[in-house]
């Protein structure tokens, strides 16, 4: 392992853009706008000139905050093919977190949607800030920056007097071991770690997808997962553009209705999703049919039940566009009942496993080989896994991995990097599981991180540290219950007694605390309820709460 992928990652795009020059590359579903591979390469060339004129050098960081959009994709591509480092920031982080990441990452330039820019404390950001999708200037302290942006068309015309052709595509010489992306796992710096991903980490994922023949040149896919997450970014976008695929960006909230309409229109050849989407479709579209007394009765009759299942499967395949080879689910575990039903129905789906630190893929099985409750087999020739347990096939232990996809470490955080690896150099995933042959079965989390069905990583300590600063809270633990976040709070009894707070008043104060807290966190970190507990939380000798007792 650690032998480096042969294929140079940046060269993949140089070749793909030349080869697929006339084919459609990117479309915005809502705006009905499209770019061919040639037009995409031209937009990238314009941004390269902009970077050069602004004095951006190889290895400089560029922050990108925005929703899925062709301009987001163009900027990501332009940055890495220039030899700079992209810092994609999830548009759902709270504004304070965005500012901290811009500063912590040492970014030289910021690209952001105007609606998000208005929420940031603009005084804090001393860098040139450009707006996406128009690439117009939002802020610059330096006159030179304004001049460059206003004369970019002339600079481009001077540079390419005969127009931009496929022969003009020449990208930076970026070795596969160089960092090209820093992906922050969560907002607040105390907890946020900037995962340093190399060209090799992405090359491992993308070349593996090529071997699996997931998509072919000229086919279409629909990207609806956030591209700022490694999972959507690598498979919906980076893999698609390396394969000559036409990538349509949904650019809207993927509610079942939005999604089904778009899928029927785009008819993608592959669907990359998180469990939440399939679980919602099951609850809204399939469960009501199965709950009808007549259907329940018929499901008990051998032969007839097969007919019913095949009818449901047919209508579901039609609802999802009717043109896909398989549905890949990742980002979190799929609900057991839903998974068992889809498997019984012989629906072509599979569940893979990965993490940001592996850009993201660790294990995958083609839907023909998928075993329910598993999350695929460790990627052959690219990744290795082991279980930290006396009997890895029967007794669950931490899943540890190494190989081509494993990150370089956390940016400017040697302590966290050292903690993430074992002494002999394996990455600790924080997940507990067993391994049968090369197939992984996850049994639970070891780390405190909570994973929602939509694939969002939630770091409870981050929310707890905010909550513990609010009135009459002594200590708290945030847990996930029925896919909602609940805060268990041990109240500050000394202060309550001193201020003679009645139980009713305390309930009202906790309700206020919840509202205050929810204003300061990302929307997926909001607490749905605060529950008071009577006794102090049990703690380890190191004074950390024994969380497993409260899950």
Q: 299 in a domain, yes or no?
A: yes
Same domain, 355 and 467: no
CATH number of domain containing 524: 3.30.300.30
Whole-prediction pTM:
0.89
Alpha-helix residue ranges (DSSP H) falling in 30-113: 37-53, 70-82, 95-104
With CA atoms as reference, report the closest residue to 112 among 455, 261, 545, 95.
95
Closest CA to 442 of 370, 380, 363: 363
User: Do 466 and 541 reside in the same domain of the chain?
Assistant: yes
69 with 32, same domain: the answer is yes
284 shares its domain with 425: yes
Asked if residue 433 and residue 308 are part of one domain, the reply reads yes
Task: Please tell me whether residues 411 and 482 are part of one structural domain.
Answer: no
Which of 445, 476, 508 is where one domain is finished? 445
Confirm if 66 and 112 have CB atoms less than 8 A apart.
yes
What is the reported pLDDT for 190? 59
Domain end, chosen from 173, 199, 225, is at 199
Domain harbouring 104, CATH code: 3.40.50.12780
Distance CA 492, CA 533 (A): 11
Range of 423's domain?
271-323+326-445
Q: Taking the alpha carbons of 26, 195, 90, 328 in that order, is the dihedral positive or negative?
A: positive
Reading the chain (551 residues) residue by residue, the pLDDT tens digits are 557 899 999 999 999 999 999 999 999 999 989 999 999 999 999 999 999 999 999 999 999 999 999 999 999 999 999 999 999 999 988 898 899 999 999 999 999 999 999 999 999 999 999 999 999 999 998 999 999 999 999 999 999 999 999 999 999 999 999 999 999 987 555 567 999 999 999 999 999 999 999 999 999 999 999 999 999 999 999 999 999 999 999 999 888 889 999 999 999 999 999 998 899 899 888 999 999 999 999 999 999 999 999 999 999 999 999 999 999 999 888 888 899 999 999 999 999 999 999 999 999 999 999 999 999 999 999 999 999 999 999 999 999 999 999 999 999 999 999 999 999 999 999 999 999 999 999 988 777 778 888 888 887 887 988 898 899 999 999 999 988 999 999 999 989 999 999 999 999 999 999 999 999 888 899 999 999 999 999 877 666 788 878 87
Statement to judge: residues 282 and 427 lie in one domain: yes
| Residue 295 sits in the same domain as residue 422 | yes
Sheet bearing 473-481, strands edge to edge: 473-481, 484-491, 529-532
Q: What is the predicted pLDDT for the residue at 42?
A: 98
Same domain, 440 and 535: no
Q: Note whether 193 and 410 are within 8 A (CB).
A: yes
> Could you give the CA distance from residue 317 to residue 360 in angstroms, rounded to a whole number?
27
Structural domain includes residue 242: no
Domain tally, the chain: 3
3-state DSSP of 150-194: HCHHHHHHHHCCCCCCHHHCCCCCCCCCCEEEEEECCCCCCCCCE
Residue 380 belongs to some domain of the structure: yes
- The answer to whether residue 101 is domain-embedded is yes
Residues 27 and 124 in one domain: yes
What's the pLDDT score for residue 156?
98
Backbone angles phi, psi at 468, to 5 degrees: -65, -15
Identify the bridge partners of residue 386 per DSSP, sorted by sequence position.
400
Distance CA 387, CA 372 (A): 20
With CA atoms as reference, report the closest residue to 324 among 439, 222, 224: 222
Among 199, 222, 240, the domain-final residue is: 199
Q: Is residue 296 part of a domain?
A: yes
Give, to the nearest 10 degrees, the angle between helix 37-53 and helix 9-19: 130
Rounded CA-CA distance 377/366 in Å is 9
Looking at the fold, whether 423 and 393 belong to one and the same domain comes out as yes
Cβ proximity of 216 and 190 under 8 Å: no
Q: What is the CA radius of gyration of the chain?
A: 25
Q: How far apart are the first and last CA of the chain?
A: 37
Position 466 scores a pLDDT of 85
């Amino acid at each position: 392992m650690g032998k480096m992928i042969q294929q140079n990652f940046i060269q993949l795009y140089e070749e793909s853009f030349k080869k697929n020059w006339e084919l459609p590359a990117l479309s915005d579903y809502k705006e009905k706008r499209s770019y061919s591979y040639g037009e995409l390469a031209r937009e990238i060339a314009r941004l390269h000139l902009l970077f050069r004129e602004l004095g951006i050098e190889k290895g400089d960081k560029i922050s990108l905050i925005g929703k899925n959009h062709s301009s987001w994709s163009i900027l990501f591509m332009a940055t890495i093919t220039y030899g700079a480092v992209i810092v994609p920031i999830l548009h759902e982080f709270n504004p304070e977190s965005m500012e901290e990441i811009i500063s912590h990452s040492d970014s030289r330039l910021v690209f952001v949607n105007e609606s998000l820019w208005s929420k940031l404390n603009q005084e804090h950001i001393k860098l040139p800030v450009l707006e996406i999708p128009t690439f117009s200037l939002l802020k610059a302290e330096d006159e030179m920056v304004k001049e460059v942006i206003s004369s970019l068309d002339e600079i481009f015309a001077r540079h390419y007097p005969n127009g931009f052709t496929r022969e003009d595509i020449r990208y930076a010489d970026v070795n596969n071991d160089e960092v090209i992306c820093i992906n922050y796992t969560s907002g607040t710096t105390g907890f946020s770690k900037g995962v340093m991903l190399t060209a090799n980490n992405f090359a491992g994922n993308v070349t593996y997808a090529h071997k699996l023949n997931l998509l072919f040149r000229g086919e279409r896919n629909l990207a609806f997962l956030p591209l700022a997450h490694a999972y959507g970014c690598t498979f919906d976008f980076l893999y698609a553009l390396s394969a000559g695929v036409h990538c349509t960006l949904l650019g809207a909230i993927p509610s079942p209705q939005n999604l089904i309409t778009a899928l029927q229109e785009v008819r993608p050849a592959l669907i990359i999703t998180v469990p939440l989407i399939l679980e919602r479709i099951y609850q809204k579209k399939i469960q009501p049919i199965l709950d009808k007394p007549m259907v329940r009765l018929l499901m008990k009759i051998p032969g007839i039940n097969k007919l019913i299942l095949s009818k449901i499967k047919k209508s579901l395949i039609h609802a999802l566009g009717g043109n896909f080879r398989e549905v890949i689910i990742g980002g979190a575990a799929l609900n057991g009942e839903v998974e068992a039903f889809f498997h019984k129905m012989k629906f072509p789906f599979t569940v893979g496993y990965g993490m940001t630190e592996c850009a993201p893929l660790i294990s995958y099985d083609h839907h023909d080989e998928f075993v329910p409750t598993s999350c695929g087999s460790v990627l052959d020739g690219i990744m290795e896994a082991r279980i930290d347990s006396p009997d890895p096939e029967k007794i669950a232990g931490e899943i540890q991995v190494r190989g081509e996809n494993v990150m370089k470490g956390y940016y400017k955080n040697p302590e966290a990097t050292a903690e993430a690896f074992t002494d002999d150099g394996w990455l600790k995933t924080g997940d507990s599981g067993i391994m049968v042959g090369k197939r992984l079965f996850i049994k639970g989390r070891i780390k405190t991180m909570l994973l929602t069905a939509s694939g969002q990583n939630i770091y409870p300590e981050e929310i707890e540290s905010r909550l513990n600063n609010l009135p009459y809270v002594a200590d708290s633990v945030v847990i996930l219950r029925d896919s909602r976040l609940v805060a268990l709070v041990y109240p500050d009894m000394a202060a309550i007694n001193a201020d003679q707070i009645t139980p009713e008043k305390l309930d009202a104060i906790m309700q206020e605390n919840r509202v205050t807290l929810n204003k300061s966190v990302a929307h997926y970190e909001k607490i749905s309820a605060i529950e008071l507990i009577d006794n102090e939380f049990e703690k380890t000798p190191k004074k950390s709460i024994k969380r497993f007792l409260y899950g």
